Structure 1
Amino acid sequence: MSVAFLLTALVVVVTPGTGAVYTLAVGLSHGRRASVVAALGCTLGVVPHLVATITGLAALLHTNAVAYEVVKYLGVGYLLYMAWATLRDKEALTVEKEAEPWSAAHVIASAVLTNLLNPKLTMFFVAFLPQFVPADESGSLGVMLQLSAVFMALTFGVFAAYGMCAAAMRNRVLARPRVMLGIRRVFAASFVALSARLAVA
């Protein structure tokens, strides 16, 4: 396996994006278990991009400007919704010892949707991944699946680490409503900034 692929994939995963911000928010508000579930959900959100690449849908998005813009602005809209929901719904980012935990299905569904509407992943699989897959060879599909599995493993590991670090900070922000208000605003601003970056990409 190419060292260049590993390094570039790691940079792509480590760079803060929608999935990382979502996992941090879940870890801070609902603890370690939920943060790991969120990391798993974000990892599963990679699968549709992989399937689209294999079936050629990603190439269509890459060459069809209208289709790509539709997906991109759906992502922008969802990020803006996440920012609005974070500010509006105090339960979305609340640290309470007696708070009712989110179900795993709820966390995973939100995480998958967050990464599903992320064109950055589609571009990664269309523009970057094929460079490391031998063309016109019988084993090309296997190599693509192998590299994708590595990318997903990196995604899960890094995001889980982000979430665990955020969860470790929970006790320090307990009974500090002003701190939580500030954190909620930071997350909302992060979603807005990510939506703006996606819109002009």
Structure 2
Amino acid sequence: MPVESLITFAIASAILGIAPGPDNIFVLAQSALYGKKSGFLVTLGLCTGLIVHTTAVAFGVAAIFQTSAVAFTLLKMAGAIYLLFLAWQAFRASADRFEGAGLNLRSSGALYRRGIFMNITNPKVSIFFLAFLPQFASPAHGQVAAQIFLLGGLFMVISLVIFSAVAVLAGQLGGWLNSSPKAQVYLNRIAGAVFASLALKLATASANVK
């Protein structure tokens, strides 16, 4: 692929990664609650989930979500229910039990899987990739599927860098807030509201890419 196309794609991907969206807001909330390490593990999970979406686009599977209302609805409702579960956990947490909950959630495998599940249950990502990645691929530059995987890999690396930075900044903020029991409660309530709003946004999403 031409270097110019890759540079343009990288710049566009960085802008998209910085713009507030469900994934980076999710990383921010997790990092503020449980520290930058937890946010980084969630970020790894989210970026791993992008492999699924990239593969779906490369082999045309993502088109199913654009044409099948049932498939799109089932997947987005699964994601919304999971986010509501996270909101419920955050709302019921208190300062007295905050440390215990945090320790449970700091399981590396659990946090990594949380990021993957959050990403792959959002059909909007597949549809976005279906609309975004092919714009930078061309049969004139070789096998299109290989180009899609290259672009998807570049998008993952850029997202990893940006989301990791979000995790570090939010983790520092969360560490300061966690020094106060009252701040712990407020932080959990804010996180619960964030998760609930993300669930609502996902549940009401349409298949159209804006």
Picking from 128, 135, 140, the partner of 2:144 is 140
Sequence identity, in percent?
Answer: 27
1:87 aligns with 2:87: no
Which runs of no fewer than 5 residues in structure 2 stay unpaired?
206-210
Using the size of structure 1 for normalisation, the TM-score is: 0.85
What is aligned with 2:47? 43
Find the aligned partners of 2:25 and 2:161 in 1 and give their Cα distance.
15
TM-score, structure 2 normalization: 0.82
Structure 1 equivalent of residue 14 of structure 2: 10
- Aligned AA (1:88): R
Per-residue displacement from partner, 1:69-89 (whole Å, max 9, x unpaired)?
111222222221221122124
Count of aligned residue pairs for this structure pair: 199
Partner of 1:55: 59
Identify the residue that residue 208 of structure 2 maps to in structure 1: none
Q: Map 1:1-201 to 2 at 5 A.
A: 1-2=4-5, 3-90=7-94, 94=98, 102-135=106-139, 138-201=142-205
Classify 1:141/1:36 alpha carbon distance in 2 versus 1 (closer, same or farther; 3 Å).
same
Alignment CA distance shift 1:174-1:63 (3 Å) = closer
Looking at structure 2, the residues matched to 200 and 99 of structure 1 have their Cα atoms a distance apart, in angstroms, of 33
RMSD: 2.6
Question: What letter corresponds to residue 192 of structure 1 in structure 2?
Answer: A
CA 1:102–1:22: 2 relative to 1, 3 Å = same
Which amino acid in structure 2 is aligned with residue 36 of structure 1?
A: F
Moved more, 102-111 or 129-138: 129-138
SS of residue paired to 2:138: coil
> 5+ residue gaps in structure 1?
none
